[in-house]
Amino acid sequence: MSQSETSSARRSLQVALGERSYPIHIGAGLLGDAGCLAPYLAGRQVMIVTNETVAPLYLETLRRGLSSDLEVRELVLPDGEATKTLSSVERIWNALLEAGFNRRCTLIALGGGVIGDMVGFAAACYQRGVAFIQVPTTLLSQVDSSVGGKTGVNHPLGKNMIGAFWQPRAVLIDTDTLKTLPPKELSAGLAEVIKYGLIRDAEFLAWLEAEMSALRGLDPAALAWAIERSCALKAEIVAEDETEQGVRALLNLGHTFGHAIEAHQGYGSWLHGEAVGTGMMMAAELSHRLGWLAQAEVERAAAIIAAAGLPLAAPAAMGVEDFLARMRLDKKNVDQRLRLILLQALGQAVVYDETPPTLLDELLESFPRA
Ligand code: NAD
Ligand code: GLY
């Protein structure tokens, strides 16, 4: 399939995980489609969890699509990465218990990756696991966080350090929701889209280079294809390696550096996608210093990251040790060996744990700051 076959028509993909397989439905106006969610509800009790930015925009539309036979509750949390904490998740558990929700309840996550990650984690633990549905409303959550079942919260010492693998029953992507997304958030989502091209699909990367201004201009066909191709690549990787024993780690390109930036700067100061954009540049530059990427390839990576509206320089306040201290806590590390995702070519990433420490120090020392 190609972009020319993807129009405003609805598309569905499948995340193939045996009896826990689930669909990703993509289309304009899906949110208001009565009955769209019905097949994925576990029982009559439904709790929609969203935040105070998304609620006024989309809560009513989603709620209208649910049958009046259901017992529907709503929980509106504060907005922001800084709220991605265990105490916010506890608010979800409190609301479920106060409402008397049982094991056959369904949680619906309406919002970006912060809501999706927290609601998924709440669902993973509530009464040892209940159903949940992802209704992602940012580009980042539509192309990445809503798919694959990584759920959790941040810890002051590290990003996403507390969590669980817990797959949703379905992912419902209404591409119309992107019309209200601030441009900076769109750019953050584009970082994860570019990531798929860099790690696994050189042809998609070339398409993104050609279509970047259409994407930033919210061209519906371009966005639909970028979302569909990203979800297809993610679904393929998750089906192969659900719990990140191998290939799934490639999805973390730029994340080891990026998570260090997010945690050091204070959650929410840099958007996750912005930190990933700069982190991918750091990974590209290190790959060049290892003799893998040519200078022209590093420049190509820089050009597309900049064209997406993402920062190319690391925070001025971060020294070498600020990076290293956070990076040593990364979940991918094994036996205290730093494990990075690097690029052998554009479109071909590898997991690498043999970076000479001096090379990494030199990169962290000399990488541009702003
Ligand atoms: P976010 O959830 O904070 O959303 C960004 C902002 O956009 C928020 O202010 C939100 O309220 C607002 N918003 C959401 N939808 C909107 C809409 N349609 N119109 C207007 N405003 C809207 O951030 P995000 O970028 O969606 O997600 C980032 C989070 O996702 C991070 O915590 C990151 O760690 C996580 N993540 C998880 C995975 C995973 O596999 N689980 C993958 C990537 C990222
Ligand atoms: N975003 C990384 C993953 O889902 O594995």
* pLDDT, tens only, 57-93: 999 999 999 999 999 999 999 999 999 999 999 999 9
Q: Are 279 and 255 in contact (CB under 8 A)?
A: yes
* pLDDT, tens only, 271-305: 999 999 999 999 999 999 999 999 999 999 999 99
What pLDDT is attached to residue 2? 47
* pLDDT, tens only, 133-145: 999 999 999 999 9
Which residues make up the CATH 1.20.1090.10 domain(s) of the chain? 183-366
Cβ neighbours for 14, distance < 8 A, ≥ 6 positions apart: 21, 22, 23, 24, 235
The protein residue with its alpha carbon nearest to ligand 1, atom 39, reads: 145
The tokens describing 211, both together, are 């279509």
What pLDDT is attached to residue 92? 99
The protein residue with its alpha carbon nearest to ligand 1, atom 21, reads: 181
Using alpha carbons, select from 75, 31, 15, 83 the residue that is nearest to residue 50.
Answer: 75
* pLDDT, tens only, 303-347: 999 999 999 999 999 999 999 999 999 888 888 889 999 999 999
Ligand 2 mutation pick, 251, 256, 262, 339, max ligand atoms within 8 A of CB: 251
Arch. (CATH architecture) of 11-180: 3-Layer(aba) Sandwich (3.40)
What pLDDT is attached to residue 7? 47
High-pLDDT (> 90) share of the chain, %: 92
Q: Is residue 4 predicted with pLDDT exceeding 50?
A: no
Q: Among residues 200, 255, 264, 300, which one is catalytic?
A: 255
- What topology does CATH give the domain 183-366? Dehydroquinate synthase-like, alpha domain (1.20.1090)
The tokens describing 57, both together, are 């925009």
Can 262 be counted among the known catalytic residues?
no
What pLDDT is attached to residue 1? 43
Q: Is residue 5 predicted with pLDDT exceeding 80?
A: no
Q: Among residues 242, 244, 262, 285, which one is catalytic?
A: 244
Can 255 be counted among the known catalytic residues?
yes
The protein residue with its alpha carbon nearest to ligand 2, atom 3, reads: 251
Show the ligand 1 pocket: residues with CB < 6 angstroms.
51, 53-54, 57, 79, 81, 84, 111-115, 117, 137-138, 140-141, 144-145, 148, 150, 160, 177, 180-181, 185, 188, 272-273
Which residues make up the CATH 3.40.50.1970 domain(s) of the chain? 11-180
What pLDDT is attached to residue 8? 57
Torsion sign across C-alpha atoms 52, 268, 341, 279: positive
pTM of the model: 0.97
